[in-house]
Structure 1
Amino acid sequence: MNIVCIAWGSLLWKPGPLKLASGWHPGGPRLPLEFVRVSDDSPEVALVLCEGARPQATYWAYVGTHDLDAARAMLGAREKITPARPDWIGSIPGREGAREDARIAAWLRSMRIDAAVWTALPPKSQGRPGRVPTAGEVVAILDGLPPEERAQAERYVRCTPAHIDTAYRRHIEAALGWRASREAHVTRIR
Structure 2
Amino acid sequence: MKIACLGWGSLIWKAAELPVASDWFAKGPLLPIEFAREGDSGELATVLCEGVAEVQVLWAFLAVDTLEAAREALREREGVPVEQPACIGSWPSGPQSPFQQRIAAWAGEQGLDAVVWTALPPRSGGLNQRMPSVEEALDYLRKLDLERQAHARDYIRRTPVAIDTEYRRVIAHTFNWQPAPEAQLDLDASA
Give the match's secondary structure for 2:105. Answer: helix
TM-score by length of 1: 0.93
What is the CA distance between 1:128 and its match in structure 2? 1.1
What is the CA distance between 1:185 and its match in structure 2? 2.4
Asked whether 1:50 is paired with 2:57, we answer no
Asked whether 1:5 is paired with 2:22, we answer no
One-letter amino acid matched to 1:172: I
Q: Distance in 2 between matches of 1:72 and 1:56?
A: 23
What is the CA distance between 1:101 and its match in structure 2? 1.4
TM-score by length of 2: 0.92
Asked whether 1:178 is paired with 2:182, we answer no
Q: Distance in 2 between matches of 1:121 and 1:188?
A: 27
Q: Distance in 2 between matches of 1:70 and 1:188?
A: 29
Asked if the contact 1:34/1:47 (under 8 Å) is kept, the reply is yes
Asked if the contact 1:88/1:98 (under 8 Å) is kept, the reply is no
Gaps of 5+ in 1: none
Q: Distance in 2 between matches of 1:144 and 1:129?
A: 20
Aligned-residue Cα RMSD (Å) equals 1.7
The correspondence of residues 19-58 of structure 1 with structure 2, limited to 5 A, is 19-39=19-39, 41-58=40-57
What is the CA distance between 1:98 and its match in structure 2? 5.4
Q: Distance in 2 between matches of 1:86 and 1:94?
A: 12
Percent identity between matched residues is 42
Gaps of 5+ in 2: none
Asked if the contact 1:162/1:180 (under 8 Å) is kept, the reply is yes
Q: Report how many residues are paired.
A: 187
1:66-96 residue CA offsets vs partner (Å, 9 max, x unmatched): 111111011001100011111000000113x
Give the match's secondary structure for 2:141. Answer: helix
1:153-173 residue CA offsets vs partner (Å, 9 max, x unmatched): 100000111232211112101
